[in-house]
């Protein structure tokens, strides 16, 4: 059978009236999923050890923005469930975001391969299975791996998320917030990590300390910790994630020419050993969407469904303020048409305040080999509505591709708990070849927009240019002579912050320094600057822009 063939008609449901009557309890459960509007088909009801294909388990499409949870032990089929849901959302015109931790979700772009297991599953659940690929775009954090590079500026990433990436404590996080506040007020662009290091170095210098006096000050010890954390972070090769062109999360909202929703796949295998980084970056993407999207209220379908994989990493060692921000984002982003599904092993990985916001649940099997496993199992059972099943026994006995489901009905009420044998995805259940993936990336119209990194004039260059020994021009002269940014390709977009060129005087001075064999640090360059205060104040007052910070301290500029 070829990839494009359809399963035989024997897989179709039996005609009404020919099917045996459902047991009373099963009928009661099935009636809770008899929706009249558009819905996603998850699979068929399991009852008393039997699969009942005439009792279909579904999720109403409008309820997908009420958020959800996909949980289960490793190897129980969570990834295939994500793929199944993403396929059906795409088919109904809803864009999807997926984080690909292991590198096998990229198969959603290619038609699946029929085999005995697929045929058997389709027959069991009365699924008309057709090998189908779905429109997809592939991204990679900072361009590390296969995908269009996704970058953020330090300014827009914000102090709260950056503090979590750097693993700073609460006091250090607050101090980092002061540094961001100062840079915002003075109009100093924090585009990449060297910009942030330059500002920290200045503010701990003799000349810089008075600048923070009125807003709480910054201790030398705390600044030292921040600088060392930044240095260690960069030494691990993390600097490429910050810079320009900054990714516009509106790209996730696109649909294909045939009307299907685009599946945006963030390839993470190259950074899967850096969970603190990618989980926090996923939160930035979500917060960025929260900032930019308008209110839409209750729509007939979501604008986007965002799957947040390895969610437990986001909540690990998170401060109360950080958890409050997550809760606020999840609660409010629904009204902007975005549904969020957290993907993790057990519901106890998700704080109660966040779990309370998740109306749709797909729980795969759990293991109960240790006392901790037993405790997690009991805690999971308590998070479900009252059920006709013995959930403790059921959750430990589910097979791969089976799950316990409860969703929100079209009225917004929880449906009965239903053990479900899930449908098979129609796309490839595995990775596509690396060469094919690279071809898809370079053929994308977004590749030319984001592939080439840009290093424009920002805080580091302005601080370096302020050295008295350079003969640098004053702020008025610097603003009067804008130059084309260096290293920008013609196809690259303007960044979200206004682009400014590196000053000629700095480039000249750098070459002189090299010739003289000088090796001065950023701190030494900044300390001793007699003109920095007037430069920074002039930038802050005359450029006339405002940076507003919201959830997580992330930022967007008003123009």
Residue 439 CA to residue 180 CA, distance in Å, equals: 40
Q: What is the pLDDT of residue 514?
A: 43
Residue 410 DSSP label: T
Residue 506: half-sphere exposure toward Cβ, Cα within 13 Å: 18
Domain edge (last residue) among 215, 242, 269: 242
- Tell me: do 124 and 257 sit in the same domain: yes
403 belongs to a structural domain: yes
Q: What is the pLDDT of residues 367-419, one digit of tens each?
A: 888 998 898 899 999 989 889 899 999 999 999 999 999 999 999 999 999 99
Residue 185 lies inside a defined structural domain of this protein: yes
Q: Is the peptide bond before 245 cis (omega within 30 degrees of 0)?
A: yes
Which range among 193-197, 295-299, 536-540 shows the weakest confidence by mean pLDDT?
A: 536-540
**Phi (first) and psi of residue 343, to 5 degrees:** -120, 120
Out of 452-456, 522-526, 555-559, the most confident range is 452-456
Q: Are 183 and 200 a contacting pair, CB within 8 Å?
A: no
Rounded (to 5) percent helix, strand, coil in the chain: 45, 15, 40
CA distances from 375 to 193, 344, 469 (A): 43, 16, 66
**What angle, 0 to 180 degrees and rounded to 10, lies between the N-to-C axes of helices 220-235 and 159-166?**
70
CA 463 remoteness from chain centre: 33
The answer to the question of residue 481 being in a domain is no
Query: Per-residue pLDDT averaged across 474-488, rounded?
Result: 39
pLDDT at 472: 37
Strand-pairing partners, residue 338, are 304
Cα 315 from chain centre: 14
Q: What is the mean pLDDT of the chain?
A: 82
Coil vs helix vs strand at 552: helix
Residue 358, token pair as written in the block = 């998740």
Predicted local confidence at residue 19, as pLDDT: 52
| Residue 171 belongs to domain spanning | 154-242
CATH number at residue 404: 3.40.50.300
Structure-block tokens of residue 364: 């795969």
Which has the higher per-residue pLDDT, 548 or 226? Answer: 226
Tell me the mean pLDDT in the region 157-162.
92
pLDDT (mean) for 521-542:
38
**How many domains does the chain divide into?**
2
Structural domain includes residue 511: no
Model confidence pLDDT, tens digit, residues 319-377? 787 888 889 999 999 999 999 999 998 898 899 999 999 999 999 999 888 998 898 89
521 versus 451: the higher-pLDDT residue is 451
Indicate if 132 and 172 belong to the same structural domain. Answer: no
In a domain, 532, yes or no: no
In a domain, 252, yes or no: yes
- Tell whether 553 is covered by a domain: no
Instruction: Answer with the one of 214, 242, 270 that is the final residue of a domain.
Output: 242
- Residue 44 sits in the same domain as residue 59: yes
Quote the CA–CA distance of 260 and 87 in Å, as a whole number.
Answer: 10
Query: Cα Rg for the chain, rounded, in angstroms?
Result: 27
Q: Give yes or no: residues 40 and 175 share one domain.
A: no
Identify whether residues 107 and 179 lie together within a single domain. Answer: no
What are the C-alpha distances in Å from 181 to residues 239, 344, 408? 22, 35, 42
**pLDDT value at residue 478:** 36
Domain end marker among 242, 274, 302: 242
What's the CA gap between 316 and 299, in Å, rounded?
Answer: 33
> Do 63 and 120 share a domain, yes or no?
yes
Lowest mean pLDDT among 15-29, 51-65, 397-411, 495-509: 495-509
Co-location of 208 and 285 in the same domain? no
| Residues forming beta bridges with residue 555, ordered by sequence position | 549
Query: Same domain for 262 and 294?
Result: yes
Lowest average pLDDT, out of 33-47, 50-64, 185-199, 503-517, goes to: 503-517
Q: Do 394 and 366 fall within a single domain?
A: yes
Please tell me the distance from the alpha carbon of residue 534 to that of residue 375, in angstroms, as a whole number.
62
Question: Exposed, middle or buried by CB within 10 Å (0-12, 13-18, 19+), for 240?
Answer: middle
Q: Given the DSSP bridges, would you call strands 418-422 and 402-406 parallel, antiparallel or unpaired?
A: antiparallel
Beta strand spans in 189-271 (E) = 263-267
- Which stretches does DSSP call E strand in 381-525? 402-406, 418-422
Per-residue pLDDT at 15 exceeds 80: no
Does the residue 353 lie in any domain?
yes
Tokens (6 digits) for 462: 């302005």
Q: Are residues 349 and 260 in the same domain?
A: yes
Beta-carbon neighbour count of residue 311 at 10 Å?
Answer: 26
**To the nearest whole percent, how much of the chain has pLDDT over 70?**
80
Mean pLDDT of 210-238: 84
Helix residue ranges per DSSP H, 96-217: 116-125, 154-157, 159-166, 170-186, 193-203, 209-212
Per-residue pLDDT reduced to its tens digit, 483-519: 444 443 433 444 443 333 333 344 344 444 444 443 4
**6-20, 72-86, 461-475: range with highest mean pLDDT:** 72-86
Q: Which residue has the higher pLDDT, 473 or 110?
A: 110
Give CA 302 to chain center in angstroms: 17
pLDDT-derived band of residue 64, with 50, 70 and 90 as boundaries?
A: very high
Region 67-83: mean pLDDT is 93
Does residue 273 sit in the same domain as residue 164?
no
Residues 86, 95: Cα–Cα separation, whole Å:
8
Same domain, 61 and 118: yes
Ranking 232-236, 279-283, 482-486 by mean pLDDT, the lowest is 482-486
User: Are the C-beta atoms of 448 and 491 separated by less than 8 Å?
Assistant: yes
């Amino acid at each position: 059978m070829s990839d494009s063939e359809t399963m035989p008609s024997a897989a179709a449901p039996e005609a009404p009236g020919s099917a045996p009557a459902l047991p009373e309890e099963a009928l009661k459960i099935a009636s809770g999923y008899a929706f009249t509007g558009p819905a996603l088909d998850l699979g068929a009801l399991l009852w008393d050890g039997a699969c009942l294909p005439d009792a279909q388990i579904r999720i109403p499409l409008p309820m997908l923005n009420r958020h959800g949870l996909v949980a289960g032990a490793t190897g129980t089929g969570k990834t295939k469930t994500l793929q199944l849901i993403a396929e059906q959302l795409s088919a109904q015109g809803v864009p999807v975001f997926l984080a690909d931790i292991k590198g096998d979700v990229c198969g959603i772009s290619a038609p699946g391969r029929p085999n005995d297991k697929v045929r058997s599953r389709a027959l069991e659940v009365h699924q008309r299975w057709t090998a189908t690929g779905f429109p997809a775009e592939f991204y990679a954090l900072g361009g590390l791996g296969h995908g269009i590079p996704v970058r953020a500026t330090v300014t827009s990433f914000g102090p709260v998320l950056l503090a979590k990436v750097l693993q700073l404590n609460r006091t250090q996080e607050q101090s980092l917030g002061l540094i961001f506040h100062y840079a915002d007020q003075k109009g100093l662009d924090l585009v990449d990590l060297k910009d942030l290091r330059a500002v920290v170095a200045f503010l701990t210098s003799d000349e810089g300390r008075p600048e923070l006096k009125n807003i709480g000050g910054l201790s030398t010890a705390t600044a030292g910790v921040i600088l060392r954390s930044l240095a260690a972070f960069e030494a691990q090769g993390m600097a490429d994630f910050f810079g320009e062109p900054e990714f516009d999360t509106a790209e996730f909202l696109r649909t294909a020419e045939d009307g299907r929703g685009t599946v945006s796949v963030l390839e993470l295998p190259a950074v899967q050993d850096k969970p603190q980084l990618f989980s926090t970056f996923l939160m930035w993407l979500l917060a960025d969407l929260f900032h930019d999207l308008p209110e839409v209220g209750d729509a007939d379908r979501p604008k986007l469904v965002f799957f947040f994989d390895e969610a437990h990493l986001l909540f690990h060692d998170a401060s109360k303020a950080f958890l409050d921000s997550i809760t606020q984002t999840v609660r409010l982003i629904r009204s902007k048409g975005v549904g969020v599904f957290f993907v993790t092993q057990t519901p106890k990985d998700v704080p109660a305040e966040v779990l309370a916001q998740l109306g749709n649940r797909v729980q795969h099997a759990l293991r109960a080999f240790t006392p901790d496993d037993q405790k997690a199992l009991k805690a999971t059972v308590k998070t479900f509505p009252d059920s006709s099943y013995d959930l403790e026994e059921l959750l430990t006995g589910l097979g791969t591709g089976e799950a316990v489901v409860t969703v929100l009905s079209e009225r917004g009420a929880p449906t009965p708990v239903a053990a479900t044998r899930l449908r098979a995805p129609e796309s490839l259940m595995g990775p596509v070849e690396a060469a094919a993936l690279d071809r898809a990336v370079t053929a994308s119209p977004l590749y030319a927009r984001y592939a080439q990194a840009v290093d424009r004039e920002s805080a580091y260059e302005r601080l370096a240019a302020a050295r008295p020994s350079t003969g640098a021009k004053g702020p008025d002269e610097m603003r009067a002579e804008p130059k084309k940014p260096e290293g920008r390709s013609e196809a690259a977009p303007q960044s979200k912050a206004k682009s400014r060129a590196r000053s000629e005087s700095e480039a000249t001075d750098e070459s002189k320094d090299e010739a003289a064999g000088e090796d001065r640090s950023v701190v030494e360059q900044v300390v001793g600057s007699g003109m920095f205060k007037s430069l920074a104040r002039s930038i802050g007052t005359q450029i006339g822009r405002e940076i507003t910070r919201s959830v997580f301290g992330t930022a967007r500029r008003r123009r």
